[in-house]
Chains A and B, each alone.
Chain A
Amino acid sequence: MTHSLHRSGNIECQKKDFIWFMYQTKSVNDKDIKPKAVQFIAVAEAQGSPNWGDVKTGPRTRFSCGEIIEKITDKSRIRGVFTSKEQVIGFLKDIKRLDLGQSVIITGVLTEVLPACQEVGVKIHSINYALGIWGKKENLPDEETLSITTMCGHHMIPPKFVQHMVSQVEKGKITAEDASRQMSDLCYCGIFNQVRCAKIVKEMAGKK
């Protein structure tokens, strides 16, 4: 899955948007992962990861920490978001020290992610580079809507729902934070950055 790679929108805004993953490899290190997953979660929480989750249960914005941890199995995928390079550095330092043996991935703007890796002293193995969108781009939604919907790479957040949420904010019925939380709840992986989303929603609502 490359659901964290192809985010769009203002690049400066994307610089405050990182995704972290713990990943087990089938038939190699995919047994009894729960204790390791719990350590990953503890490290991410200590760094202030605002959202994380397991696709088999849902995101932290919707379920309690205990609920998600209780349902972790060897099929789980644990991942979440950070909003600063400093959080990424702190996370990688602790995960490197714990030496859990699971694959670790950080997705984001490379001018932010690579220096963070360098500071921690991890040796980058490989990178999946985003080469953009190709094909019938004229049928895509507007860029601001896209910058929100692409935060759930599986596209569980429909453009019409984004427009509905922005409209509710514009009418004063809900706050931008409430709207972002509702959108985040649709993204089961837990990689939706509701902090970044709230800023975008405020800008969209302010234009109307």
Chain B
Amino acid sequence: MASIVSNLCTGCKLCQKYCSVDAIGFDEATKKCVIDPIRCTECYVCIRQKVCPKDAIVPPALDSFLKQFQHVLSDPMENHGVTGVTGRGTEEVKTNDVTGRVKRGQVGICIDMGRPGMGVFLRDAEKVAMACAAAGVELQGEEHTPLGALMPDLKTGKLQDDCLDYHLLSVIVEGVTTEANLPNVLKALDKVQHTIDTVFSLGLILRTNDAGYTEALDCLEELGINYPYRGKVNVGLGKPLCDE
């Protein structure tokens, strides 16, 4: 984890204002700031912005795959190794006009774990991934989304045990299901949301008609879910165009 060199710290607490997950505390006994090693996500906001006037905050040695994973997923300036995309490394709807990852009749499930701003322990991401898998979501592998690299069995959504206590700024649980199965998935998410110690922001990726309409969301009213008013619209100018 990032750490604060105690003999350099003056206890001014300026760094606390820049911590994205409130991981910087103050030790009343020593009058020094300290970083909570459990909560720090290695997002590097405090380091990149050089917020400490005494340069007391130092980055960690990223000497294991999981430490690197934690940092790359928490810092949008980094590239994820397999997908080559910055941040959390997934293209979701942004290139769907070219990749055709989500086809007609399908729904892309895009669950931003830890967003907005609370961060996520991977044990909570596992709960949601397993709920999705049990509800019939085909989870994406590491060639499409970073979390797949920690998921030995995409059919269950279970993550490798040694990663579960890592805290990330966010990570996406991503998969595909059919439009007909969407109500089951939403019911599963409604159930699992009460078992996690964080939040997630849910996105549903759908092919639409040329005007941007899809009947697949008609099920929302029956489930008591508000119809979405925001969207990320792919306007179909990418080439070669995939129209599946």
Q: What is the interface of chain A, defined by CB distance below 8 A to chain B?
A: 1-8, 11, 14, 21, 23-26, 28-29, 55-56, 75, 77, 92, 95-96, 99-111, 113-114, 117-118, 122-137, 139-141, 146, 149-150, 153-161, 164, 186, 188-189
State whether A127 and B237 are in contact (beta carbons under 8 Å apart), knowing that A1-B76, A6-B116, A156-B43 are contacts in the complex: no
A150 smallest CB distance to B (angstroms) = 5
- Asked whether, in the complex, the Cβ of B83 is within 8 Å of the Cβ of A7, the reply is no
Q: Is B233 a contact partner of A25 (Cβ separation < 8 A)?
A: no
| Contact across chains for B235 and A160 when beta carbons are under 8 A apart | no
Instruction: Please give, as numbers and ranges, the residues of chain B lying within 8 Å of A11 by CB-CB distance.
Output: 229
Which single member of B17, B90, B233 contacts A160 (CB below 8 Å)? B17
Instruction: Point out the residue from A28, A55, A127 that lies within 8 Å of B98, measured CB to CB.
Output: A28
CB pair A158–B18 under 8 Å, yes or no, is yes
Return chain B residues, CB-CB under 8 Å to A107. Answer: 230-233
**B17 touching A164 by the CB < 8 A rule?**
yes
Given A1-B76, A125-B241, A128-B110, 12 other A-B residues pairs in contact with their CB atoms under 8 A: A1-B88, A1-B92, A6-B115, A8-B116, A101-B237, A110-B212, A114-B211, A124-B208, A129-B205, A155-B43, A160-B17, A186-B49
The list of the 7 closest CB pairs from A to B, nearest first, reads A125-B236, A103-B238, A101-B239, A128-B93, A131-B202, A135-B199, A129-B228
Q: Which residues of A contact B190 (CB under 8 A)?
A: 134
Q: How far is the CB of B5 from chain A (nearest CB, A)?
A: 22
What residues of B have a CB within 8 angstroms of the CB of A158 in the complex? 17-22, 45, 117
Q: How far is the CB of B40 from chain A (nearest CB, A)?
A: 13
- Which DSSP category, helix, strand, loop or mixed, fits chain B's interface? loop
Q: A1-B88, A135-B196, A156-B45 are in contact. Are A127 and B76 (CB under 8 A)?
A: no
Shortest CB-to-CB span from A40 to chain B, Å, is: 11
Minimum C-beta distance from B197 to chain A (A) = 6
Residues of B within 8 A of A7 (CB): 230
Minimal Cβ-Cβ distance residue in A for B112: A2
- State the Cβ distance, A154 to closest chain B Cβ, in Å: 4
B193 touches A105 (CB 8 A): no
User: Given A103-B98, A118-B211, A154-B87, are A129 and B237 neighbors across the interface (CB < 8 Å)?
Assistant: no
B200 with A103: CB separation less than 8 A = no
The verdict on B16 contacting chain A, using a C-beta distance below 8 Å, is: yes
Which of A4, A26, A122 touches B237 (beta carbons < 8 Å)? A122
Q: B95: CB under 8 A from chain A?
A: yes
B207 engages A140 (CB within 8 Å):
no
